[in-house]
A and B are shown apart, each in its own frame.
Chain A
Amino acid sequence: MNSNDAIFAQLATLGSSLVLLFGIALLWRRSLSAYVRAFRWQSLALALTFALIGYFGHNRELYIVAAILVVLKVIVIPGYLTRLYERVGGKREAQPYVNIATSLIIAGLLVLLSYAITRPLVTVSKLPTRNGIPLAVGLILIGVFVIISRRKALSQIIGFLVLENGVALLAALGTYGIPLIVELGVFLDVLMGFLVMQILVYQIKDTFESIDVEQLSRLRH
């Protein structure tokens, strides 16, 4: 492993750690605007990591992916989100199901779990970026956890987006990215999914006068 690779490995791990940290920040803050901000910074860090991998891994396509990431997940989607919560939600997340302290402990446990799970993958892989893989998987698990432990629909959407980020990071670290056409497809997917969720949030608000997802159980007869 030459020095170039060593620097690459270090920077890649640094980037992934930053991405993960911003994800954990989601579990620490309470207000919706903080959520959106955390997401923004996370996506920026992710884009930089992508560009990094593209540079060191000599894969031009990743630059394009990074650029789209910036446009979509740093500018467009957070913009929509801000507009959404200004119109619909209160500024604060109501009491989540799991309180902050417990959530942080669980996040830590999830990251440990992801290390356990990805150990065979890390030992097998020859890529310099392999040390970041557990972090990416941890981010995925944290995204899932955010979805299940938050009450408001908006928080759940953000949890979903973080999950997407985690998957993209895993793809980049594990295989230096996926074919461009697939990546574009995924972006389209995310955008569409987001728009659908937006519509749903408006509908929930209209029907229940609140975006507390628990109210949905009133639909059961």
Chain B
Amino acid sequence: MIVKALFLVMITAWIAGAIASLVTGRGVIARSVTALGACVGSAACLLLGVTALVTGQSLTLNSTRLLPVSGLMLRLDGLGAFFLVIIGLVGLASAIYGYGYSANYEGRYSLRMAGAMLNLLLLALGLQVMAYNALTFLIAWEAMSLSAYWLVLTEHDKTETVRAAVWYIAMTHAGFAALMAMFLLMAGGDLTTSFEGMRSNAAALSSTLRNVIFVLGLFGFGSKAGIVPLHVWLPMAHPVAPSHVSALMSGVVIKMGIYGLARVTLDLLGGGPVWWGVVVLGVGAISALLGVLYALMEHDLKRLLAYHSVENIGIILIGIGAGLVFHSYGLTSLAALGFIGGLYHTLNHACFKGLLFLGAGSVLHGTHTRNMEEMGGLIKRMPVTALCFLIGAIAISGLPPLNGFASEWLVFQSLLGGFNIPRPEVAVIMPVAVGMLALTSGLAAACFVKAFGITFLAIPRSREAEQASEAPFSMRAGMAILALACVALGLAPFIVVPALGRVLAGLGGLPDTHPAFTLKLSLATPGGASRVSPALLALGTLIILGLIPLALRALRANRRLRFGDSWGCGRIGQTPRMEYTATSFAEPLRRVFAELYRPTKELTIDFHPESKYFVQSIEYKSEITPWFEKYVYEPCLWLVRLLAVNVRRLQSGSLHLYLVYVAIALVILLLSARW
């Protein structure tokens, strides 16, 4: 069967890529085998996902036939196939991109580990969405976390990187502990129970137990996805990883949290009381808003993108939360709409965030800095990167006709169904969520005007920016793949939405929503029909764009063009110091949201020693208050340190004392066994 064949190709390619990378170790050969293994595997993964979605075939594997290890179960169903598409697409682009990007690491860092871990990460991701019992799920989860950890540590000589990796591994393991507890509760202590078994047991669980499972799941999956307040590792870890790894992490790894949440709450538990959906919706809305607000204040390009990942996870959770709320009221077609919106946004975010990170990597490659305040004018020196980044920026701001708009439109539509909810107190949450979502998308647009404008437009602000060179072909190819995906997914939601409808059919009792295949995207919601057709919009805009020059020619408009200096009120010459900076661009918003940011300000002015009317230098330093790090994590860390210092009193440093401890323990054990 083709599905089985694709699966085997996928697994073998990734394993072969990992082993080959470990063996060859350096140079072009190492980079090529890594990229080749990862590419072939990702392409197979993508094809597998698409085939499974289109034909509806599924695949079941019990491990005893593959390995002499028992207890592992794999099964591919619709939800898993959808996530395989995401893994394959972003994996393919990252792998191709990584070939060119890791040339920077020759001789400085270990290509061996980076290549092997990349393939292992992809393998773990692929197996994760096919896991059919708790044991396989947890093993794949841990493998994914560890390989991502090693990838984050690629540039290990910088303190910032090591610190970020420590935070990452600590938080991911806290989440893992919660997940293990959750699965133990769901499976009644036996981790090899299949999901099928868990599904049938779920109805018998008491409601307190179900609530506990939900909370544990939200904590565990949420810490991986990066919801507020568990997000602090994201802006630390994603910037310091190599750019193709950042794209993979932001695009795929955090989505595994969404996969887990959907799988557990909708599929295994079959939905729950209203407050589950409300909590998810609330957490999503807050994450979205806080994510974008913190992103606005960043001038490190990759940190900005990392905070936007938090924001988009929030938007996905808004969709999923709305779906859960509708599900608990029995409004199944609206629930399906909410989930479709959330999952579609998952795919879209993977594409445009991956694209943006790859673009940021190209910029980093060309200018050797991540600081936006040192860039500028790159659109002339790196035209392909600029175009791809622009496409990503338009997509993430949710502007038509690209994919961000399609999924945000779906999420809006599902929230608009809120007036069907019987209880007014719950229904009122929907408009509030609409307002927050709209504010988020407006602020995201503002943030990306800043990000694209300061980085690529105007005059270069430093020597590196003046001399930046375009990225090599492999990096451009990787970006182009994702850019095309963004455009295609935006113009053709009528392909994605029916597929998603089929994926969700049957999960947790959702009906099979079959929007018809037309050029328009028609949604039949209770109460009315809304329609949008991004493809026709794009067509119309292009036609008019083409007509305008013709009309101008017909009007006999003046077509001459002259180049001159920018207007400057009569000043002579323009320097980069005169243009707007990223900080100044964000300053009005900083003032507006000053209550949240609580910016601190330090201003030192050095006057000329002879006269205080001549200023020699001015130093201005401003920081925003990191609420979560300061008020949530610092106290926790302080408590842990206090406990540790007190426990240290037990340690005297004397070997004999430790041995006495051991001997006493032995005697006590023997005695207690006897009695």
Residues of A within 8 A of B (CB): 97, 113, 116-117, 119-120, 141, 144-145, 147-148, 213-214, 216-220
Cβ proximity bits B640-675 to A, threshold 8 Å, 1 near / 0 not: 000000000001111110011011001100110110
| Contacting pair B674 A220 (CB below 8 A) | no
Given contacts A117-B671, A117-B674, A120-B674, whether A148 and B653 have CB atoms under 8 Å apart is: no
A220 to B659, CA, bound (A): 17
Identify the closest chain B residue to A110 (Cβ): B667
Q: Which label, helix, strand, loop or mixed, suits the secondary structure of the A interface?
A: helix
Find A144's partner among B651, B652, B666 (CB 8 Å cutoff).
B666
Contacts of B660 in A (CB 8 A): 148
A141 to B660, CA, bound (A): 12
Given contacts A147-B659, A148-B659, A148-B660, whether A214 and B654 have CB atoms under 8 Å apart is: yes
Identify the closest chain A residue to B651 (Cβ): A220
Find A217's partner among B654, B671, B674 (CB 8 Å cutoff).
B654
| Contacting pair B659 A217 (CB below 8 A) | no
13 contacts between A and B (CB under 8 A): A117-B674, A120-B674, A147-B663, A148-B656, A148-B662, A148-B663, A214-B655, A214-B656, A216-B653, A216-B654, A217-B654, A220-B651, A220-B653
| Contacting pair A213 B674 (CB below 8 A) | no
Contacts of B671 in A (CB 8 A): 117
A216 to B655, CA, bound (A): 7
**Could you tell me the distance in whole angstroms from the C-beta of A162 to the nearest C-beta in chain B?**
14
Contacts of A214 in B (CB 8 A): 654-656
Identify the closest chain A residue to B661 (Cβ): A148
What interface size band does chain B fall in? Answer: 10 to 19
Identify the closest chain A residue to B652 (Cβ): A217
A54 to B653, CA, bound (A): 46
**Could you tell me the distance in whole angstroms from the C-beta of A205 to the nearest C-beta in chain B?**
15
**Could you tell me the distance in whole angstroms from the C-beta of A28 to the nearest C-beta in chain B?**
20
Contacts of A119 in B (CB 8 A): 674
A217 to B657, CA, bound (A): 10
Contacts of B673 in A (CB 8 A): 117
Contacts of B662 in A (CB 8 A): 144, 148
Contacts of A220 in B (CB 8 A): 651-653
Contacts of A97 in B (CB 8 A): 656
**Could you tell me the distance in whole angstroms from the C-beta of A26 to the nearest C-beta in chain B?**
16
Identify the closest chain A residue to B659 (Cβ): A148
Pairs of residues from A and B, 8 with the lowest C-beta to C-beta distance, nearest first: A220-B653, A217-B653, A148-B659, A144-B663, A217-B654, A213-B655, A117-B670, A117-B674
A220 to B654, CA, bound (A): 9
Contacts of B656 in A (CB 8 A): 97, 148, 213-214
A71 to B253, CA, bound (A): 57
A192 to B572, CA, bound (A): 81
Find A219's partner among B653, B663, B666, B667 (CB 8 Å cutoff).
B653
B654, B662, B670, B671: most-surrounded residue (chain A CB, <10 A) = B670
A192 to B670, CA, bound (A): 28
A141 to B667, CA, bound (A): 8
A82 to B478, CA, bound (A): 68
| Contacting pair A113 B654 (CB below 8 A) | no
A113 to B653, CA, bound (A): 30
Contacts of A218 in B (CB 8 A): 653
Contacts of A219 in B (CB 8 A): 653
A220 to B656, CA, bound (A): 14
**Could you tell me the distance in whole angstroms from the C-beta of A208 to the nearest C-beta in chain B?**
12
| Contacting pair B667 A113 (CB below 8 A) | yes
Identify the closest chain A residue to B660 (Cβ): A148
Contacts of B666 in A (CB 8 A): 141, 144
**Could you tell me the distance in whole angstroms from the C-beta of B178 to the nearest C-beta in chain A?**
35
A217 to B651, CA, bound (A): 10
A133 to B236, CA, bound (A): 60
Contacts of B652 in A (CB 8 A): 217, 220
Identify the closest chain A residue to B648 (Cβ): A220
A213 to B652, CA, bound (A): 13
A191 to B520, CA, bound (A): 77
Given contacts A144-B662, A214-B654, A220-B653, 19 further A-B contacts (CB under 8 A): A113-B667, A116-B674, A117-B670, A117-B673, A117-B674, A119-B674, A120-B674, A141-B667, A144-B666, A147-B659, A147-B663, A148-B656, A148-B659, A148-B662, A213-B655, A214-B655, A217-B652, A217-B655, A220-B652
Contacts of B651 in A (CB 8 A): 220
